[in-house]
Chain A
Amino acid sequence: MANLPPPDRSIAAAQSHNSRLGILLFFIYFALYAGFVLINAFEPTWMELRPWGGINVALLYGFGLIVAALALALVYGVLARVGTDETTETEVTR
């Protein structure tokens, strides 16, 4: 363990990490959104099915997308990194 290089905590590394994380989360949400749009466009009758509690798919999926947006935003907020300015050794909040 002692031989492992120290993690790169530079601003550039933090930006790169956040960018990769953002792209991954973006594609997860995009897949969910695209599924909703395509079902509406090509199989709109599926939206009328009531799989849970007497509530139809249109409501469950629609509210699900709003909840998923907030959940993924929070995941991003927790996992996004903060970089350190190597010239001054001070942590900068970016």
Chain B
Amino acid sequence: MIHEVSPLAVTLFIAFVAATVGLSFFLGRKATTSEGYFAAHGQIPWFVNGIAFAGDYLSAASFLGICGMIAAYGYDGFLYSIGYLAGWIVALFLIAEPMKRLGKFTFADALDSTFDSRGIKLVAGISTLVISVFYLIPQMVGAGALIQPLLGLPHWAGVVIVGIVVMVIVVTAGMVSTTWVQFLKGSLLVIFSFVLAAMVLNRGLNVREGGADGHALQSIGPISESEFTVATDFLGKPILPDGDGWKRDRFVRLADGDGFKIFSVTRADDGVMLREGQSITTNADGTKTVDGYPMGGGDAERLLRPVGHVSRLPGGEKETGPLGPIEFFRVVADSEIVLWGSDTIRHEDGSTTIAYFQKPTEGERVLRPGEHPIFAGIRTGKTKDRIEFISLMLALFCGTASLPHILIRYYTVKDEAAARKSTIVGIASIGFFYVLTLYLGLGAMTSGTLDIQDTNMAAPLLAKSLSPALFAIISAIAFTTVLGTVSGLILASSGAVAHDLLVGFCGMKLSGGQQVRIAKFAAIVVGGIAIALGIAFQKMNVTFLVGWAFSIAASANLPSLVMLLFWKRTTRQGIIASVTVGMTSSLAWVLLSGDTFQKVYGLPAEYAWAPLSQPGIVTIPLAFLVLVIVSLATPATPKR
């Protein structure tokens, strides 16, 4: 789908970015010391820090990925909302106050607080870098997805713009500006998501025959099997012959001008049903055609149509009018909604067609778990699929309190009570936002504006269906969402390089100012890596990618942190071994999983070495076990 560029959206986007960068320069003078740069002097008010937690945490994955997944599949995206929020319980009840008590600038500070071990600083610093880079990938992919409809620029341009702006934010003022950017972004995101959800409820649901572009999707049938078999034309248009990957059993193409109309074929008790679909072909020379026409907005060109509509409301109504928050779910459950699926057809000349087809789905199914491929396993009854699901939910539960950019936010407040209060504010604002995700996702699912190729754009496009001004605001907020999270991650990474690796592990004697300069240089290097990876992983769903980062964080960081706090026999060697094993095992597992083989390497999933795609259920307990065994096998470490 190609989106029209809105001047209002461009203006607001530039204003948001300018305000963000301006704030960074304004606050930059407060961050010349290492205390100021890494921890904002511990002077951030707890309420501001709590909202900044939301700004840090409600990343592109939450706003774009979850809403997109709900819009495309229903309830399954909400499982991520539930898991992401549950992780904050671990952070509040187990981690928040000790983290503030033990640490100074980085995660390694807390882990090494009683040992003064170069080995702990090394592994904790590396783990921070690895997790941050993995978490950066989906943020950058999200930035690229946003920039295309907003500014009409290609995906890579969005990634580069985010990378450069974030480098400016982090290099100019460190944690001070990052915190205030996140505070503003967190506030705006929650407020405008609420506005958007309220508008969805006020609009209610209505029956349509297609997307918001007004095109009524055609259907043929039901007809008998014999009638279908002998037919040579439908709707007065001849049927194109099978061959070169096309099979009439699945898709029928009707000649239409220079191209064709494509219909998916489904069989039911009452006969054969043909429903209009869409197709996009990537030719061997890289050009693209939509339903046989060159892709574009011109006269002899075609674009993929926006999708997502209600095909039946309860009681045969055509529109509901405004709905209450509970009534909305009740009506969705009793309606029929048209979701979309896709098949890939490979042709002899090397070109590939993706054929999109309608999936009329009962609302009851939309509001139950198990429709998305990631979660479909829970309905197969297979033990492996069940373990896969439990593994993902475990990683989400354990991952939040292990993310480096979340952990360092505990150093920006003055004491443990402030750390506790700011976490409670964070839980309130994040929880409220996650409640809204279901309304936004289902609103997008039924708004007729979904981009069939890119579910990540569901929430901004929903806003577009309600008000162009709201689209501009939501897109600009979504972009600052990415800026805020990426800033936090790059700051955590730069702290790990300067403070943990160079000073802590290598023993370099650096003044606070020198540490800050090196951290700024590291921020530029990590930002460059993030840009490259954001371009390379363009096609991946951002929520899916975040699942990996959570698995690695939960396996590498949480076991050692929890055991340090709650098991007195924990030794220095135990922590080093646990972080090393947790990080390497989960990282290797992810890289050797079926999902990575299929979606990153382009190889069949059957070739994968890892038995599951989600490693958490094995690697998190493994890291705990390694810590216990190594700690018991080594003498108790003298505490400093």
Contact = CB atoms under 8 A, between A and B. Distances in A.
Interface of A: 15, 18-19, 22-23, 25-26, 29-30, 33, 36-38, 40-42, 44, 47-48, 50, 53-56, 58-59, 62-63, 65-67, 69-70, 72-74, 76-77, 80, 82, 92-94
Contact of A22 (B94, B329, B427, B434): B94
B427 A58 contact: no
Nearest to A72: B89
A69 B8 CA distance: 39
Contact of B101 (A40, A44, A94): A94
Contacts of B368: 44, 47-48, 56, 58
Interface residue SS majority, chain A: helix
B424 interface: yes
B330 A54 contact: yes
B369 A58 contact: yes
Contacts of B397: 30, 33
Contacts of B98: 19
Contact of B86 (A50, A69, A74, A93): A69
A39 B364 CA distance: 18
Interface in B363-399: 364, 367-370, 378-379, 386, 389-390, 393-394, 397
A53 B334 CA distance: 13
A33 B89 CA distance: 11
Size band of the B side of the interface?
Answer: 35 or more
Contacts of A74: 424
Contacts of A94: 97, 100-101, 415-417
A69 to B, nearest CB: 6
Contacts of A18: 97, 420
Contacts of B518: none
A38 to B, nearest CB: 8
A44 B421 CA distance: 37
Nearest to B364: A48
Contacts of B434: 66
A55 B326 contact: yes
28 contacts: A15-B97, A23-B94, A29-B86, A29-B89, A30-B89, A33-B397, A37-B394, A40-B79, A40-B369, A40-B393, A41-B378, A44-B379, A48-B368, A53-B330, A56-B368, A58-B75, A62-B75, A66-B82, A66-B85, A66-B435, A69-B88, A69-B89, A69-B431, A73-B428, A76-B92, A93-B415, A94-B101, A94-B417
B1 to A, nearest CB: 31
Nearest to B423: A73
Please list the 5 inter-chain residue pairs (A to B) with the smallest Cβ-Cβ separation, ordered nearest first: A22-B93, A94-B416, A26-B93, A93-B417, A54-B330
Contacts of B592: none
Given A44-B369, A93-B415, A36 B82 contact: yes
Contacts of A70: 427-428, 431
B333 interface: yes
Contact of B82 (A56, A62, A80): A62
B367 A59 contact: yes
B105 to A, nearest CB: 19
A80 to B, nearest CB: 6
A72 B423 CA distance: 12
Contact of A25 (B78, B93, B438): B93
